[in-house]
A and B are shown apart, each in its own frame.
Chain A
Amino acid sequence: MLAIATFGIPILGSLLTLLADRVNNFLRNAVAALTVAATLASAFLLIPIAKEAHTIMLGPSTIPGFGFNFIIDGLGVYVAIMAAFIGLLIVFYSMGYMQNYTHLGEYYFLVVLFIGAMMGLVLSANLLLIYIFWEVTAICSWRLIGFFRDPQHLKSADTALLMTVFGSFCMLVGMEMVWHETGTLTIAAIRGRNVSDMAMLLMFIGILAKSAQVPLQIWLPAAGVAPSPVTALLHAAVLVVIGVFAFARIFIGAFSLPPNWQTITSVVATITIFVASGAALVENNAKRILAYSTFGQLAYVYLGFASMTTVGIVGGLVFLLAHSLAKAGLFLAVGIVEHKTHTKDIRELGGMIRVMPVTAVAFILCALTIIGFPPSAGFVGKFMIILGAVEGGKTVFAALAVFGALMSIAYMIRLFNAVFLGPNPSHNVKEGTTGMVVTVTLFAVLSLLAGIIAAPLLDVVNALVSQMFG
């Protein structure tokens, strides 16, 4: 019941938000925030149930292979809480950031629906069900990226939709092949069955497209035209995380990632790390730099997963959380700068630390997490990923990943220097609204805290990983 509530509340709530928009702005914002808060609460309530994986069947279906099957387990609840929590903070931030724009009913409807689809996705126990929620998120992100209705934005939004849909159609064909080969689409039933490489490849393409891994990465930097809270949502809480989650759920949980796929994933991840770091070192648009960083850092998570060692997978999941918190903070920090100065070009920015000290400090703290400096959770995560890769016999990939980490220091410090340091503030502006600054600070503090008091986090992740294999 709780599982249904977890995704049912936001999906119904999104419609309520639309209705509330007809009444007044305050009610709409309140409904949106309350819905996401209730979603988060409901996800929290799933924790005791998730200690032992539960599957739920919601009535039969006439479609072959399909069924309303849900599973409540550690992995799903971990990602659900993460997404709902970050989503909630982003909704709060939006109230300050978005207040001067129109079509806000559409905005909150899509954001809440987005989170709802994410909740449904992580709790799905059927491949086809995963796919359905998967496409809902694609549709939501499409309208959110093109939210400002500028021709260039609409083009970026269409690119994002078409590329992810191309991936997901491939994935759907892969699922059809799985259905032929195993006669089932229920994840628990697929576990341990042999699936052809072609089916794996097709599903892998879908995952790559969603997580913006090379060569399907280009939509993510282009999606930076979206409002900053949306970018944060896409990069941190939901969209790109979906690919990672599906990889963990399907490729690791169900297929146990055969050795040749470990190599393929490692190769893709390593190439992605280098393409992302290289592009981020050259790019001049602050949000695009962060977008490159996003898929470059997610590649580390894949690298950890590809090791198929406990330490690598745990490291990957810890880093996923650390990255989400920090990347949300980074986007929102850059969002404050962009909101005030109306520019994203780092060549036009500078000296912002003098007018936005809090934002600047929050930015550098989040950047430390992304880079993986101690005592942030990024350090623990990245270290475990590299350790896992070496333990899994992928020493060369691990060495390249270490080099990529050096490049991430270089592009992060470049971004920070260009935006926040320099002799004089480039724009005569003030710090963002209290709500925005508080949200950014909260993300910075959380990403640090996640490292300092990482013991419970690591316990949880270890438990859920052993559950995945148990």
Chain B
Amino acid sequence: MNTLLLYPIAVPILVGFVCLLTPRQFRGPREALTVLTALASLAMSVFIFMQPTLYIHIPWLTLTGNLTLAFDFQSAAYARLTLLVVSSFGLLAALFSIPFLAKHPRHNEYYAYFLMALGVTSGAVLSENLLLLLFFWELHGFLLFLMAGINGDSAIPASTRTLILAGFGDLTLLFGLVLLWTQTGSFSINILSAQAISVNSWLMGVAFVLMAFGSFVKIGVMPLHSWITAISTETPMTVMGYFTSLDKMLGFYLLTVLALNIFDLSGWGGWFLMTMGVITLFGGVLMAMVQSDFRKMLAFHSVSQIGYMVLGIGTGTPVGIIGGLFHLVNMIIVKGALYLCGGSVQHATGKTKFSEMGGLAKAMPWTFVSTLIASLAIAGVPPLNAFVSKWLVYQGIIEHGGAAFPIYLLVAMFGSALTLASFMKLLYSMFWGDRPQELADVKESPWAMTLPIFVLGLIAAGFGIFYRWPVETLLAPILDQPIRSIGLWQSGLAAILMIVSLLIGLVIYWAGRPRRNVETEVFLGGEALDPEIYRVPGTHFYGPVKGMNGLRQVYAAADRGALDLYLLSYRVIKSASDWIYRYIDQALAEFYQEVIPALWSLIGQILRVLNTKMVLTRILWALYAVGLIGIFFMPNQYEIVTLARIIACIGMIGWAFLAWVERNLTRMLVLATTSQLGFVVLGASLSSDVAISYLLTGSVAIAVLFLVAYLIRRTLHTDKIEQMGGVAGRMPWAFLLFVLAALWLSGLPPFGSFFSKFLLGVAASEISPLLTIAITGTAIMTLSYLLRPIGRFLRAK
């Protein structure tokens, strides 16, 4: 029985893969398969909904110790309700997709992502474990990214933005989860619920805010909403209607679980959510009013409506929470209807801008009526469903109380009024007024489109009039507490009264309207004008709003992108990255590759001038000899031995610099030998064994180097390193010997002088770290200057 929980998750995902892999032209079968799968999903959800809470545990990964990622699914009351809503919506969206997507070139991908998203959302909702929820959550974000890019190239910026914002949400959620885990040691919703963690501790407060941000991205709370409005114009309408709704359900599900089950939000936590809610609802509607493309306008409205839900949850009162949840259900229905209406209009006219439409009410009556109902519903006009849910949210605010509650209440109500105002613009621009001549022969969309919209409109009305059933039967069981509602009216009677009053209004309108339109030609300066010019679209209805002082600046800032958090952060990160690239990475590269060699060359050149005609070199040889004699005959005279060591170090390092700037190969080897002799002198002062072994191993390498240099000189008739290009190709064996000897001399293992050098280092480090530095420094310089001829040998001639 409990395995039942797996089907709504696994079946759509698997069928999604089937859809992806079927050839593109199999459109019909793929559509049928999708609808069947969505139907089966709904059937399973209904079945799960009827059952008491089911639970299943399937072990998967043991990360370490007691930290596991298992498939723990549970159909708690809220989860199974959300599942039901998700799958019902999935079926409707599947039906609607068929005509709308019929000619889309990426048909297979669309349905694949569609079904996978359904399964993944179900998985997240049914997860009993927050880590598992995160798993599905991220998958959903990735599917959204794929879906956002389905219209091809124009959608790339929008889909990129979607992925990055989704990634932001995923990562904040992840980090919040991690913090929660370190405090509680568990990811299980059941276990965490039993603890009711207070957000008043510093760490848990951060954890709550981070996790809330995760859900904010998914539901589109301002200022994390911008992916919704960005993809609204770049994807098929069904994607907007379906995917953003799934995201909302998912995000809201998590937010509710956080607010109700896991955290105890008394105190600032509630105010935090309420404030985010109010900002979102007001900012969203302000932006919606001035849009000229209905897809964008709807997108901003859906952002705005989210605010009411977050506000309701934030009140923390049973009536507010139920109000928020009911508003979510209502918005899925109403927004779904509105998106589908928009889709239907777009399907029929091919237009999305308000200014290009008008007067469609007659041509598309079913779409018009559905849009009208949905618009009134979203504005919260009684007796439609969103009126009830907003009413409950308002009550929640009142019940929550606190000093600032009247402000929240006022803003929320004012937002509602603006919503109505903004939908008047939509209705006027699209359905009333004059129809552009281009659209003269527009016809109603096929029934497969209009029927789902109309059904949604009916449900919207039904949920408003008979609100008791959804509120008390579906939602109330989520909370354990009873809901105290203030001023609940007799809905049946109220509805009848309202309908009667509307009918009276209609009668008056019909009685008073002009009998016929007077049509006349328009002249300007005696010239007949195209009536099209004088068509008044509704686009500029709220032009004055845009010009209002105070708001004007806000809109201007929004136009510049100054309010777009994504864009702002992107700019900041980009300039920080520029800085890092230039002043850390490239600067370091320049330091290692240019500055250090230049410094070496400078020292080398100075020494080179002093060493004219090898004067210094001869002096050094003499000093080496004196040092050696001193070491052999007065090994216990500390000053003499120290002096010999200093001479040795000067020789090692100084002549390495000289070799670095030498242009003549043979002379470079002479200088190198001089430098290496320093090691021998130093070794002699430490232990004679080390000195002898170094002398032996070093001599072999030096001999080979001189031999190769001789061979090269004989072949190329030059001793200048500059002119030795192409040696590697012409004399491969000589080249190989040279490389091996160079590595040998530098003390790189596994070659001979490595062990001598190691022993030298061990002995030296007992005396002084300075000696160790000298040995190591010389070794690295030896390699550096020997790489110069090697590099030249390798180059083309």
Say whether, besides A162-B780, A169-B776, A176-B765, A218 and B588 are in contact (CB < 8 Å): yes
> Do B60 and A407 touch (CB < 8 A)?
no
Docked CA distance A402–B758 (Å) = 43
Contact-size category for B = 35 or more
Contacts of A128 in B (CB 8 A): 758
Q: Is A124 an interface residue (CB 8 A)?
A: no
Say whether, besides A406-B167, A455-B61, A462-B64, A161 and B787 are in contact (CB < 8 Å): yes
Question: For chain B, what secondary structure do more than half of its interface residues adopt (helix, strand, loop), or is it mixed?
Answer: helix
Docked CA distance A274–B584 (Å) = 11
Q: Is A81 an interface residue (CB 8 A)?
A: no
A324 → B minimal CB distance (Å): 20
Q: Is A263 an interface residue (CB 8 A)?
A: no
Say whether, besides A275-B585, A458-B62, A459-B62, A179 and B179 are in contact (CB < 8 Å): no
Contacts of B65 in A (CB 8 A): 310-311
CB-contacts of A124-164 with B (<8 A): 128, 131-132, 135-136, 138-139, 146, 149, 151, 154-155, 158-159, 161-163
> Do A398 and B175 touch (CB < 8 A)?
yes
Nearest B-chain residue to A147, judged by Cβ: B794
Docked CA distance A123–B388 (Å) = 71
Binds B, one of A83-91, A279-287, A335-343: A279-287
> Do A159 and B174 touch (CB < 8 A)?
no
- The tally of residues in A whose CB lies under 8 Å from a CB in B reads 85
CB-contacts of B707-738 with A (<8 A): 728
Docked CA distance A398–B142 (Å) = 23
Q: Is A252 an interface residue (CB 8 A)?
A: no
Contacts of A173 in B (CB 8 A): 761, 765, 772, 776
Of B61, B754, B787, the contact of A454 (CB 8 Å cutoff): B61
CB-contacts of B575-611 with A (<8 A): 576-581, 584-585, 588-589, 592-593
Q: Is B783 an interface residue (CB 8 A)?
A: yes
Contacts of B160 in A (CB 8 A): 413-414, 417
Of A221, A391, A423, the contact of B182 (CB 8 Å cutoff): A391
Contacts of A379 in B (CB 8 A): 135, 138
CB-contacts of B547-601 with A (<8 A): 570, 573-574, 576-581, 584-585, 588-589, 592-593
> Do B171 and A395 touch (CB < 8 A)?
no
> Do B164 and A406 touch (CB < 8 A)?
yes
Contacts of A49 in B (CB 8 A): none
Docked CA distance A399–B207 (Å) = 12
Nearest A-chain residue to B153, judged by Cβ: A423
Contacts of B171 in A (CB 8 A): 402-403, 405-406
Q: Is B413 an interface residue (CB 8 A)?
A: no
Contacts of B104 in A (CB 8 A): none
B155-175 near A? 1/0 per residue, CB < 8 Å: 010001001100110011011
Docked CA distance A423–B152 (Å) = 8
CB-contacts of B122-159 with A (<8 A): 131, 134-135, 138-139, 142, 153, 156
Q: Is A390 an interface residue (CB 8 A)?
A: yes
Nearest A-chain residue to B580, judged by Cβ: A278
Docked CA distance A310–B67 (Å) = 11
> Do B64 and A277 touch (CB < 8 A)?
no
CB-contacts of B755-791 with A (<8 A): 755, 758-759, 761-762, 765-766, 772, 776, 779-780, 783-784, 787, 791
Docked CA distance A292–B791 (Å) = 26
> Do A380 and B63 touch (CB < 8 A)?
yes
B252 → A minimal CB distance (Å): 22
Of B168, B584, B748, B755, the contact of A165 (CB 8 Å cutoff): B748
Q: Is A446 an interface residue (CB 8 A)?
A: no
Q: Is B749 an interface residue (CB 8 A)?
A: yes
Say whether, besides A169-B776, A214-B584, A455-B60, A371 and B577 are in contact (CB < 8 Å): no
Q: Which of A165, A172, A277, A403 has the most CB of B within 10 A?
A: A172
Q: Which of B134, B585, B761 has the most CB of A within 10 A?
A: B585
> Do B178 and A282 touch (CB < 8 A)?
no
Q: Is B750 an interface residue (CB 8 A)?
A: yes
Docked CA distance A223–B779 (Å) = 23
> Do A395 and B179 touch (CB < 8 A)?
yes
B360-384 near A? 1/0 per residue, CB < 8 Å: 0000000000000000000000000
Contacts of A368 in B (CB 8 A): 142
Binds B, one of A35-43, A381-389, A436-444: A381-389
Contacts of B758 in A (CB 8 A): 63, 128, 172, 176
Contacts of B432 in A (CB 8 A): none
Nearest A-chain residue to B736, judged by Cβ: A106
Q: Is B743 an interface residue (CB 8 A)?
A: yes
> Do B762 and A161 touch (CB < 8 A)?
no
B295 → A minimal CB distance (Å): 23
Contacts of B7 in A (CB 8 A): none
Q: Which of B579, B589, B748, B779 has the most CB of A within 10 A?
A: B748
> Do B64 and A310 touch (CB < 8 A)?
yes
Contacts of A409 in B (CB 8 A): 163-164, 167
Q: Is B541 an interface residue (CB 8 A)?
A: no
Contacts of B779 in A (CB 8 A): 169
Of A139, A149, A163, A410, the contact of B164 (CB 8 Å cutoff): A410
Contacts of A465 in B (CB 8 A): 64
Nearest B-chain residue to A381, judged by Cβ: B63
Q: Is B528 an interface residue (CB 8 A)?
A: no
A392 → B minimal CB distance (Å): 10
Q: Is A258 an interface residue (CB 8 A)?
A: no
B166 → A minimal CB distance (Å): 9
Q: Is A255 an interface residue (CB 8 A)?
A: no
Contacts of B755 in A (CB 8 A): 63, 66
Q: Is A373 an interface residue (CB 8 A)?
A: yes
Q: Is A314 an interface residue (CB 8 A)?
A: yes
Q: Is A215 an interface residue (CB 8 A)?
A: yes
Docked CA distance A413–B758 (Å) = 48
Docked CA distance A315–B61 (Å) = 13
CB-contacts of A351-370 with B (<8 A): 368
> Do B762 and A390 touch (CB < 8 A)?
no
Q: Is A95 an interface residue (CB 8 A)?
A: no
Contacts of B776 in A (CB 8 A): 169-170, 172-173
> Do B783 and A455 touch (CB < 8 A)?
no
CB-contacts of B46-94 with A (<8 A): 60-65, 67, 69
> Do A149 and B794 touch (CB < 8 A)?
yes
Of B142, B179, B585, the contact of A217 (CB 8 Å cutoff): B585
CB-contacts of B331-361 with A (<8 A): none
Contacts of A259 in B (CB 8 A): none
Contacts of A159 in B (CB 8 A): 592-593
Contacts of A217 in B (CB 8 A): 585, 588
Q: Is A430 an interface residue (CB 8 A)?
A: no
Contacts of B577 in A (CB 8 A): 277-279, 281-282
A80 → B minimal CB distance (Å): 19
Contacts of A200 in B (CB 8 A): none
Docked CA distance A417–B153 (Å) = 10
A409 → B minimal CB distance (Å): 4
Contacts of B787 in A (CB 8 A): 158, 161-162
Nearest A-chain residue to B131, judged by Cβ: A383
Nearest B-chain residue to A283, judged by Cβ: B581
Say whether, besides A165-B783, A391-B182, A278 and B581 are in contact (CB < 8 Å): yes
Q: Is B181 an interface residue (CB 8 A)?
A: yes
Q: Is A8 an interface residue (CB 8 A)?
A: no
Q: Is B618 an interface residue (CB 8 A)?
A: no
Docked CA distance A274–B576 (Å) = 10
Nearest 10 A/B pairs, CB to CB: A278-B580, A278-B577, A132-B749, A218-B589, A282-B581, A281-B577, A409-B167, A279-B585, A154-B791, A279-B581
Could you show 24 A-B contacts with beta carbons less than 8 Å apart?
A: A63-B758, A63-B759, A64-B762, A132-B754, A139-B748, A149-B795, A154-B794, A158-B787, A169-B779, A170-B776, A180-B762, A215-B588, A222-B589, A275-B585, A310-B64, A311-B64, A314-B64, A373-B138, A387-B181, A387-B182, A398-B178, A405-B171, A410-B573, A417-B160
**Extra pairs beyond A278-B579, A373-B139, A398-B175 (9, CB < 8 Å):** A139-B748, A162-B780, A162-B787, A169-B779, A176-B765, A278-B577, A384-B64, A386-B175, A399-B175
